[in-house]
Each structure stands twice: as C-alpha cells, then as structure tokens.
Chain A
C-alpha cells in the first residue's frame, strides 16, 4: 500500500473534475478532493508524525477558509446569474459585454 500513489490518484481525479465539470458545486468538490490529496501526504510522509499533524492543522485552517470564500462566491454568482453552470454564466457575461459595447457606441 503506497500513500503517495493514493494521493496522486486522488489529485488527478480532482484535477480532472476541475477541468471537465461545468457545475460550480462539482468544481468545489474537485477542489476539496485536491486538498484531501495534499493533506494525506502531510500525515503519511512526515518524518516525525507530530510535525505532519501540526502542518495538517494549518492546512485544514487554510482549506476551511478557502471553502468559505468559494461557497460565498458560488452563492453570489448563482443568485446573480440564476444558474450554477459555468458555460451559461460565461455566455451571459459575453451577452452583457456586447450590450455594454453597443451602448458605448451609441
């Protein structure tokens, strides 16, 4: 059993989700998986284990802060655009840009 490979597999699942998924909550889940892969290494590869646990606490604090910010942004964006699909949000953004440029030219 090799934890390095386990965390690499988790990391690649997370990166694949980050690149291919279009729903904002799925993107958030991908980020959580990447964070889990990173924290797994802190515990399994730390030479004194206490050191790894201490760093894990720091990693969890950062991870939780990131999660809070991402979820807040996610709720704001979803309410503003009425969807949590990235492609639809980008399409609406482009529509807004076109409308703004038309208003400027007038």
Chain B
C-alpha cells in the first residue's frame, strides 16, 4: 500500500515538475520526484541505490535551484489553485495504470520467460535497438555533411 501511494506521488510530482510555470516550484517538484524514487528503491530492498539516488539528486537539485533562479523567467501571472488541482488529478489518473495493470509477468518472447528475465538475459533486443540508434546517428551525420558540401 505504501509503495502504491509513493508511485502516485511520484507521477504527480513529475507532472507538476513539468507543467508548473514558476521554475523554482518546478525544481521543488522534481526534488519530490527524486526523493520518492529513492524511497521506492529503499522499500524494495535496494538501500544502496536509494542512498545513491538521494545523494546524486541533492547535487543536481542544488545546481538546478541556482540556475533556475538565474535563468528562469518570471511568469506573468501566478498559477491558480484550479490549475494545480487539475495537474494533480492528471498525475493521479496517469499513475492508475501502474497500480492496476501488469505486464511484468507476461512475455511475448517465450511463454515461460518473464519480462524481467527476458530483458536481462535475452540481450538481442537492446543490441538491435543500439544498432538502429547508431545507424540513425550515422545517417544524420552523413546528411549534415552532404548539405554542407552542397553549400
């Protein structure tokens, strides 16, 4: 039950981090996202990962607060409580599939292999995806070079 509440909070804070107009509030919501992620790690037995996430996120957030204050443009009007309530509602709705649906037990690779095992043991998929990414980058670079030569 606690993890479900943390997951809802995680999605809500992620939505608020992205859609709040004031940059400082946005960074505060991102801090909540990182903190909740660290708590989820700790509650799942990955204490080391939780502490690491917490430590790294503090550094990132300190710099983000500074640069947010320095670079952030002040919004013309303050966010209304109705908008914030709407964002919280959207975050809550987005977190529902994670709580009520499940894909981890299902695998289309082989019937007796779970999703986690498939991701970790059958590495062909991510090798293929990496190849696609590298190919796309190579095509992109060659197009840029071709355009430059044309000029």
Contact = CB atoms under 8 A, between A and B. Distances in A.
B is bound to A: yes
A17 B48 CA distance: 30
B16 to A, nearest CB: 11
B14 interface: yes
Interface string B10-50: 11001101100001001100100110010011001110110
B99 A25 contact: no
A47 B71 contact: no
Contacts of A47: 116-117, 120-121
**Interface residue tally on B, bucketed by range:** 35 or more
- A14, A16, A25, A75 — most chain B CB neighbours (10 Å): A25
Interface string A6-27: 1001100110110001011110
Interface of A: 1-6, 9-10, 13-14, 16-17, 21, 23-26, 28-30, 32-33, 36, 39-41, 43-47, 49, 51-53, 56-57, 60, 63-64, 67, 71, 74-75, 78, 83-85
Interface of B: 3-4, 7, 10-11, 14-15, 17-18, 23, 26-27, 30, 33-34, 37, 40-41, 44-46, 48-49, 52-53, 56, 59-60, 63-64, 67-68, 70-73, 94-95, 97-99, 101-104, 115-117, 119-121
